[in-house]
Amino acid sequence: MNSDKIDMYLVANGKFFPGEKMPLIKEKLRLLPDEQFGILHTLQLKDPTNMLLFSFFLGHLGVDRFMLGDTVLGILKLITLGGCLVWWFIDLFLVRDNTKEANYNKFMEILYRVNLGSPSGNHSQSL
């Protein structure tokens, strides 16, 4: 894929991913065929700032963990009322990084699925 498309994608979506993983994301995008680039726009990325707000107002009920897909931890947080608010307070500092990591994992899963579903059948090529 051309570098202009990659740069535009990273400028628009860079805040959703961990900063230390940006070079790897850029390399994966460079190897992605142009005709499959559109699939990345279907990816529902969570905004770390919005997740911080959810965590602040509803984190003691585990809503932030449920939204990140941590169902078991969300239930535990709900039952313990955020670990008597201690767990809730700790999560206020961790939720942004957890959100970026969850977005990165979603991104990598999509690229893995695109690679396995390639019409050439070359499943050994890694993105």
**What is the per-residue pLDDT for 36?**
87
Q: Please tell me what DSSP assigns to residue 1.
A: -
pTM: 0.86
pLDDT tens digits, 54-71: 999 999 999 999 999 999
Mean pLDDT of 42-60: 95
Domain ranges of the chain: 3-116
**What is the per-residue pLDDT for 124?**
45
**Which are the contacts of 117, defined by CB distance < 8 A and separation ≥ 6?**
none
The share of the chain scoring above pLDDT 90, in percent, equals 74
pLDDT tens digits, 18-31: 999 999 999 999 99
